[in-house]
Amino acid sequence: MNQTAPDDPDQFAILATALTRRFGTLTAVDHIELQVAYGEIFGLLGANGAGKSTMIKMLTTLLPPTSGSAQVGGFDIIKSPGEVRRRIGYVSQLLSADGALTGFENLLLSARLYGLHGSESRSRIDDALNFMGLADSAKKLVKTYSGGMIRRLELAQAMLHRPAILFLDEPTIGLDPVARHTVWDRLLDLRHSYGMTVLITTHDMEEAEMLCDSLAILHAGKISVIGKPAELRSGLGDEATMDDVFAHYAGGSIHESGTFSDVAKTRRTAQRLG
Amino acid sequence: MQRLVRETAAIVEVELIKLIRDPTELISRAIQPLLWLVVFGQVLAQVRGIHTGQMSYLAFITPGILAQSILFSSIFYGIAIIWERDLGVVHKLLVSPAWRASLVFGKAIAAGFRGIVQTVVIYLIALAMHVSIRLDPLAILAVASSVMLGSGIFATFSLIIACIVKTRERFMGIGQVLTMPMFFASNAIYPLDIMPDWLRVVARLNPLTYLIDALRGLVINGGASVYGFAADFTIMIGVFVVLLFIAVKLYPSLAE
Ligand SMILES: Nc1ncnc2c1ncn2[C@@H]1O[C@H](COP(=O)(O)OP(=O)(O)OP(=O)(O)O)[C@@H](O)[C@H]1O
Ligand SMILES: [Mg+2]
Helix (H) / strand (E) containing A30: strand A26-37
- Residue in chain A nearest B88 by alpha carbon: A96
Q: Does A86 touch chain B (CB under 8 A)?
A: yes
Task: Give the whole-angstrom CA distance, residue A58 versus residue A65.
Answer: 6
> Per-residue pLDDT averaged across A53-77, rounded?
97
pLDDT for the residue B2 = 87
Does the Cβ of A48 fall within 6 Å of ligand 1?
yes
Q: Determine the average pLDDT of the residues in A170-187.
A: 90
Write the Ramachandran bin of A76: left for phi over 0, alpha for psi from -120 to 50, otherwise beta: beta
How many contacts does A have with B, using Cβ atoms within 8 A? Answer: 75
CA distances from B239 to B2, B210, B214 (A): 25, 11, 15
For A41-61+83-273, CATH number out of 3.40.50.300, 1.10.3720.10, 3.40.50.720, 3.30.70.100 equals: 3.40.50.300
| Range in A135-139, B27-31, B117-121 with the lowest mean pLDDT | B27-31
Ligand 1 pocket check for A53: Cβ under 6 Å: yes
B106: left (phi over 0), alpha (psi -120 to 50) or beta: alpha
Is the Cβ pair A114, B22 closer than 8 Å?
no
pLDDT of residue B76: 80
Confidence band of A94 (pLDDT split at 50, 70, 90): confident
Q: Please check whether residue A113 touches B, CB under 8 A.
A: yes
Q: Judge whether A199 and A42 are in contact, CB under 8 Å.
A: yes
Residue B92 and residue A96: Cβ atoms within 8 Å?
A: yes
Report the DSSP beta bridge partners of residue A201.
A44, A169
Chain-wide mean pLDDT for chain B? 92
- Ligand 1 atom with minimal separation from the A63 CA: 1
Q: Is residue A118 less than 8 Å (CB to CB) from chain B?
A: no
Q: Is A60 in the pocket of ligand 1 (CB under 6 A)?
A: no
Which residue in chain A is spatially nearest to B90 when comparing CA positions?
A: A96
- Distance CA(A106)–CA(B93), nearest Å, equals 11
A78: contact with B, CB 8 A cutoff? no
Q: Is A259 in the pocket of ligand 1 (CB under 6 A)?
A: yes
Given a cut of 60, whether residue A258 has pLDDT beyond it is no
* H/E stretch holding B204: helix B197-205
Please indicate if any CB of chain A lies within 8 Å of the CB of B97: yes
Residue % of chain B over a pLDDT of 70: 100
A106 with A98: CB under 8 angstroms? yes
Ligand nearest to the CA of A46: 1
Whole-number Å distance, alpha carbon A53 to ligand 1 midpoint, is: 7
The β-bridge relationship of strands A214-219 and A41-46 is: parallel
Using the predicted structure, report yes or no on whether residue A254 has a pLDDT greater than 60. no
**Interface touch A86/B255, C-beta < 8 Å:** no
**Partner A contacted by B96 (CB < 8 A):** yes
CB contact under 8 A, B92 and A90: yes
DSSP helix, strand, coil percent of chain B (3-state; round to 5): 80, 0, 20
Mean pLDDT, chain A, whole residue set: 88
Question: Whose CA is closest to B252, among A112, A169, A57, A84?
Answer: A57
> What average pLDDT does range A232-252 have in this prediction?
80
User: Which residues of chain A are within 8 Å of residue B17 when distances are taken between CB atoms?
Assistant: 101, 105
The predicted structure's pLDDT at residue B30 = 83
The answer to whether the CB atoms of A113 and B96 lie below 8 A apart is yes
DSSP-derived secondary structure letter, A61: T
Instruction: Please answer whether residues A220 and A30 qualify as being in contact, where contact means their C-beta atoms are separated by less than 8 angstroms.
Output: yes
pLDDT in tens, B211-226: 999 999 999 998 889 9
Chain A CB within 8 Å of residue B21 CB: yes
- Asked if the C-beta of B249 comes within 8 angstroms of chain A's C-beta atoms, the answer is no
Terminal C-alpha separation, chain A: 46
Residues B80, B46: Cα–Cα separation, whole Å:
40
Reported ipTM: the value is 0.88
Task: Looking at the CA of residue A47, tell me the nearest atom of ligand 1.
Answer: 25
The whole-model pTM stands at 0.89
Best mutation target among B1, B5, B22, B91 (most A Cβ atoms within 10 Å) is B91
Subunit contact A100:B94, Cβ cutoff 8 A: no
CA dist., res. A245 & res. A205, Å (int): 9
Q: Give the residue on B whose Cα is nearest the Cα of A117.
A: B6
Q: What is the mean pLDDT of residues A128-135?
A: 94
Q: What's the pLDDT score for residue A256? A: 44
Q: Which residues of A touch B3 (CB under 8 A)?
A: 115
Q: Degrees (nearest 5) of the Cα angle B28, B34, B38?
A: 160
**pLDDT band at A3, cuts 50/70/90?**
very low
The stretch B153-160 carries a mean pLDDT of: 97
Residue-wise pLDDT for B49-83, tens only, equals: 777 777 888 999 999 999 999 999 898 889 999 99
Q: In what order do the strands lie in the sheet with A75-76?
A: A26-37, A12-23, A67-72, A75-76
* Closest-CA distance of chain A to residue B104, Å: 13
Contacts A101 to B, Cβ<8 Å = 14, 17-18
How much is the pLDDT for A269?
A: 56
Distance CA B152, CA B71 (A): 10
Alpha-carbon distance A96 to nearest alpha carbon in chain B (angstroms): 5
Task: Say if the Cβ atoms of B97 and A96 lie within 8 Å.
Answer: no
How many other C-beta atoms can be found within 10 angstroms of the C-beta atom of residue A246? 19
DSSP state for residue A237 in the 8-state scheme = -
A45 contacts A203 by C-beta, under 8 angstroms: yes
What is the phi-psi region of residue B190: left when phi exceeds 0, alpha when psi lies from -120 to 50, beta otherwise? beta
Write the CB contacts of A14 (distance below 8 Å, at least 6 apart in sequence): A34, A35, A36, A42, A59, A70, A71, A72, A165, A197, A199
